[in-house]
A = this chain, B = another copy of it.
Amino acid sequence: MNPHRVVIIGSGFGGLFAARRLKGAPVSVTVIARTSHHLFQPLLYQVATGILSEGEIAPPTRDILRHQRNASVLLGEVVDIDLEARTVTSRVIDHQVVREYDSLIVAAGAESSYFGHDEWVSAAPGLKSIDDALELRGRILGAFEMAEIEDDPEARAAWMTFVVVGAGATGVEMAGQIADLSHHTLRSNFRKIDPADARILLVDGLPRILTQFSPQLSAKAAKRLEEIGVELHLGVRVTGVDEHWIEFSGEDPTLGHRIETRTKVWAAGVTASPLGAILAQAGGFELAKGGRVPVTSNCSLPGHPEVFVIGDMMALDDLPGVAEVALQSGRHAAVEITRRVSEGETAPKPFHYHDLGTLASISRSYAVAELGPIKVTGLLAWVLWLFVHLAFLTGFKNRVTTVFHWAVSFIGRGRAERTITMQQFLARRSLSARVPGPARPEQAAD
């Protein structure tokens, strides 16, 4: 008899931990993903700002799973899911294949959302992939190069102005790192400009930053950001983005209507993978907020107990779009499948999220942490942040180079990975806009 076939779409935290949880189970596991690597997304901003190399946070999925004999990994972008025939169709380059499943875990994550303005992507790339990170690295470090050769004061100021849209964890970390680059890393590197003159703006439509934390910690993080040279502008909405400027509406009189800037980073919002819309069409249901798929209490699709939708793609209990939710829901789906296959068990067990707390690094030696009722800020929180991330990385990757690169950048002035890929820098078009992907199905409004 053939083993029960589990297909997992996605190799992020959800897909990877689901696959690992199925080790030893009497099933065959196929992970289909559109990148050949797992991505340790919480550290992506460090690749974008020259601290880490891409290899340190994006090891090949098949290398992580090489000793799990019941798992295979296949490169491909999923373009269709047929819930009746129980098949998944994927494509890559000139190759298309249809695969059958007995159980399916959809863990394709989320992508940057431009709130209906997808045309902004070229001028303001998001930070969701390794390609995005190299794109932003080229743009940020390249902006200082351009400022150095530019004689016109206005044009130079536009190169020295960086606008980060969205004050969640990614936006805060990016703004903090650009400030650190300009004040520490690039010191003594230029002759005409002083990189410390860079203007770094962090804007958000909400009245406070890091809304996943308590107001008290938000305020402390905001204070720290301002101390290291980040301008905060809250309650402000972006109304237009161009290669040369960004426009706002809102109540902040210190900001003005338009800022001339050559470098924008989009960290304002995410929307679930377009596979959610494919599922909605196939299953005949409506998507929830953010393009998420409404699921039952055990993370399965209503009427399809063999299909699980997890992590950033599922709408369940208003859970946040963080790695820990993806990881735990991926494991839960794997356990549900194992129970059904091994024990013939069919009564679903609901998924309970165990909130292990939230951490965000603001600058060198300063982080904020909220672990239930316990709130920690400053150096202690930052040391906690270091250990948690190192421990996690160790699950996949050797951490020797990472420790070294962190030492270089946190203790010293340097950053080991400042290399600009010229194509990304010169082309001035976002990769996300350039790579041919599958046609996007129409999607429910956010």
Interface residues of chain A, those whose CB is within 8 Å of chain B, are 34-37, 50, 53-56, 58-60, 62-63, 66-67, 72-76, 92-93, 95, 97, 129-131, 134, 141-142, 145-146, 148-151, 188-192, 398, 400-401, 404-405, 408, 414, 416-423, 426-428, 431, 434-436
Contacts and interface: CB of A to CB of B under 8 A. Distances in A.
Given A53-B53, A76-B149, A34 B435 contact: no
20 contacts: A35-B420, A36-B141, A37-B418, A37-B420, A50-B55, A53-B53, A54-B421, A56-B416, A59-B418, A63-B414, A67-B188, A72-B148, A72-B190, A74-B148, A75-B145, A92-B146, A129-B422, A400-B404, A401-B416, A426-B435
A131 B58 contact: no
Given A54-B419, A60-B189, A73-B148, 4 more contacts: A59-B419, A92-B145, A93-B426, A401-B404
Contacts of A74: 148-149
A55 B418 contact: yes
Contacts of A422: 34-35, 129-131, 435
A438 B293 CA distance: 49
Contact of A93 (B63, B92, B146, B420): B146
A405 B416 contact: no
B426 A431 contact: no
Lowest 10 A-B CB distances belong to which pairs? A53-B53, A55-B417, A72-B191, A75-B145, A54-B419, A66-B188, A58-B419, A62-B189, A401-B401, A423-B431
A55 B185 CA distance: 15
A131 B436 contact: no
A62 B190 contact: yes
A109 to B, nearest CB: 14
B421 A130 contact: yes
A56 to B, nearest CB: 7
Contacts of A418: 37, 55, 59-60, 63
A37 B145 CA distance: 11
A40 to B, nearest CB: 11
Contacts of A434: 423, 427
Contact of A435 (B72, B188, B423): B423
Contacts of A145: 36, 75, 92
B404 A408 contact: no
A420 B192 CA distance: 37
Nearest to A397: B416
Contacts of A72: 148, 190-192
B420 A53 contact: no
A51 to B, nearest CB: 10
Contacts of A419: 37, 54-55, 58-60, 130
B423 A131 contact: yes
B405 A75 contact: no
Nearest to A58: B419
A343 to B, nearest CB: 27
Contacts of A191: 72
A238 B188 CA distance: 49
A426 B93 CA distance: 6
Q: Which of A50, A55, A146, A398 has the most CB of B within 10 A?
A: A55
A408 B400 CA distance: 11
Contact of A75 (B66, B146, B398, B416): B146
A194 B183 CA distance: 50
A153 to B, nearest CB: 14
A97 B150 CA distance: 9
A55 B53 contact: yes
Q: Which of A67, A74, A76, A422 has the most CB of B within 10 A?
A: A422
A103 to B, nearest CB: 19
Given A62-B189, A146-B95, A436 B431 contact: no
Contacts of A192: 72
